[in-house]
Amino acid sequence: MGSAREFPCKFYRGTWTLRTRTGESPLGPVKHTLNGNTGRQLWTFDPAAAPAAWEADALSHFRREYEAMAEVRHHSADEPLRLQALRETGGKRRAAKPLPKGAAEAEQVDASLRHGIGFYGSLQMEDGHWPGDYGGPMFLLPGLVIACYVTETELPAEHRAEMLRYLRNHQNEDGGTGLHIEGHSTMFGTSLNYVAARLLGMAADDPHCLRARAFMHGRGGAVNNTSWAKFWLALLGVYEWRGINPLPPEMWILPYWLIVHPGRFWCHCRMVYLPMSYLYGKRAACPPTPLTEALRKELYVEPYSEIAWEEQRNNCGPADMYVQHHPLQDLLWKVVAAAEPWIPAWLRRRALSWCADMILHEDGSTRHVDIGPVNKAINMVCCWYDDPHGEAFKAHLPRIFDYLWLAEDGMKMQGYNGSQAWDTAFAVQAIAASGLGEEAEVSPILRKAHEYLDASQDHGWPISDCSSEGLKGVIAALGLPGVAALEPERLFDCVNVILSYQNTAEHWGTGGWATYENTRGPAALELLNPSECFGDIVIDYSYCELTCACITALSHFHRRHPGHRTAEISTAIKLGAARNGSATSSGPTARGAWFGVVGLASVGEREATSPHVAKALAFLRSKQLPDGGWGESYLSSSRKEYHHADASQVVNTSWAMLALLAGTEGCDESMAGAAPVLARAAAFLMSMQEPTGDWPQQLISGVFNHNCMITYANYRNIFPLWALGQYRRRLRGEPLPNLDAENLAPCGKSRRGGDTATARGDVEVCTSLEQRQASDMQSVVYGLLDP
């Protein structure tokens, strides 16, 4: 199959640089965009640019430090990005202004904020967005590597070397690899990452491979695997298609009125299974090569020719099994497998043609970025099988690099092509909330960020909470120096999208918001979840976090433009607030409390007037640790019960502070009661701030589908700034921005009538519509794969 599949890894010298607003790529230019590729992130390598001695030494130090601690500290700290920012200042760090001994708390908070904003501003890209690591899942990069191997696409040597560094660094002590960087070893993670390492040039007798093989063979080999792993292995030609539950493309041309039509599935689910079914329908597989023949021997305990493939369809080990197949699902697959040989060839051709058209539509609508990294890689293979020399396949190649991120742990594939608008919208709100936005050193940061939000409104897959946070970011920057207001019609368009996404009774909902679109089917469709390792992937559920983002955005907008769809906005806010206020969870967590409390506070609810807010804040107070912080493990999400982390986390602490500030605002008694809790939390955040103004990267802080964690590297800066900024307002006696004061009831009386309820127990203020997903500190608002 040619030298493109040999993937040699050579030692390289040169300099990595993160660029934005570029249409370039190692595999050709990308198509022109109307916003000039604003927000596009591309790590480029210049072999002729020797780094300065201090930068080379620092990067080498960070890499060695990470490798030494990789088995206990899994998360990288985005050091190459920080070194690049330092490079642009000639290696000079911004020094904090010294405070006099015994400075008052307000002075300390003020100084910490200014230092933190100054540092974070140095990471801002020229187009106004904040870049950052959005990795975490360990099954994404192997899919890309397999797709490149199958399509004979050769990645640059320096990229391959950094990918190998990443795979080595994230092997667990037992030789396996997890579903995500902090997770226990799974067959899914181990088998795919083993294959990726071999395709990238690692020898079979390398200690990394020996340990991984021992892990796999000790657990029955790669047949004991998830359905997604089996798909990738079959595509590579190292697993047989008959060992996979059927994915007939004919299901896509069924009548849409059927409740089980895949068009009713959550968009991430259907956009992954669409190209999967296309390749399954073709039984596409890489022709044998010496390497794939070797992998057939290395992956399994039994000889490849002796494996009973049909018996492996539902064979999945306990380490991977998060969601058991329902017996009805297994029966369905048996019936479909028995019926598939009788499908007429003409019907298969028609179904494949329909799938191919939808794949091309997805590629075109997203400029070949696609909704996420999984279908990006699979769509690329589909286009290659359709025409390896065609423009549809060639247009995919430059966009590979949009998903790649470099850190000191190596090069990874991200959960999207970045979280630029999301992070930037949060950053604008955080910095503006401090009240420092008009100062000369701060206003240019917010002006550039506002310009980025202005340029990034158009999107191939609009999302309810991204739209909401973007709208709030735009509104937060209004009136600041140099910020040009967007045309009202632009804001109206955004509000119209948000309103259209609310799940009312006709959308199997009770007033909440889901991710990308209205819910298209009943929760019973989750019985068809075939993934084994992800929860709640079949339909798009309403979530607390998204609902709160939407009602706060509508509230902020309504104050500025009270004449636009007034009655509809009022009704939408009431329905959303009632939906979240009435939801309770057995797995209370602080991130859900932050979203829930802020959402309810935006419509006038407070601790003294709302039993829901009171319960949430009582929960938060009960979880504060002796050092003043909060710390929660990702296990809260997967196990749906609260799990303390080993130590307090700056991100968790910030979320808790924001909830406490919002829930006690405007009531002297509540504010007085929260004061010592907030003071201890603020002291913790300031004690964790580094001399540079940065905050440390600690545990991973995002999740999708309950069970897979994902990185939001910017949270370590955004949320401490936001919490301390609002706390600064509290210390100065200034009201918090955008909280509804007009509808605020007198302290001690509920707006619904009656006395204030007493908080009882660990009851969380919000959860998903079906009480299936713990709205925990770690959860990703999107709910991706990703999602």
What separation in angstroms does the CA of 517 have from each of 264, 458, 596?
Answer: 11, 16, 21
Output the pLDDT for position 765.
28
What separation in angstroms does the CA of 157 have from each of 13, 146, 163, 192, 343?
Answer: 11, 16, 10, 21, 45
First to last CA, the chain: 34
**Three-class secondary structure of residue 593 per DSSP:** helix
Q: What's the length of the chain?
A: 787
Output the pLDDT for position 413.
98
Helices then strands, counting H and E runs in the chain, come out as 26, 10
- Structure-token match 């608002």, residue found: 781
Cα gap 325→706, rounded to integer Å: 17
Cα gap 340→287, rounded to integer Å: 24
Output the pLDDT for position 747.
60
Output the pLDDT for position 591.
63
Cα gap 405→577, rounded to integer Å: 38
Cα gap 329→432, rounded to integer Å: 51
- Catalytic residue (choose from 78, 110, 409, 465): 465
Output the pLDDT for position 737.
84
Q: What are the phi and psi torsion angles at 544 (to 5°)?
A: -55, -50
Domains of the chain: 140-354 (1.50.10.20), 498-731 (1.50.10.20)
Cα gap 551→770, rounded to integer Å: 20
Output the pLDDT for position 98.
74
Output the pLDDT for position 70.
86
Output the pLDDT for position 677.
97
Cα gap 717→114, rounded to integer Å: 12
Cβ atoms of residues 670 and 606 within 8 Å? yes
CB hemisphere CA count around 780 (13 angstroms):
30
Output the pLDDT for position 579.
78
Q: What are the DSSP E strand ranges found in 671-777?
A: 702-704, 708-710
Output the pLDDT for position 31.
79
Output the pLDDT for position 755.
34
What parts of the chain have a pLDDT lower than 50? Answer: 1-11, 584-587, 748, 750-787
Output the pLDDT for position 588.
52
Output the pLDDT for position 480.
92
Q: Is 174 a catalytic residue?
A: no
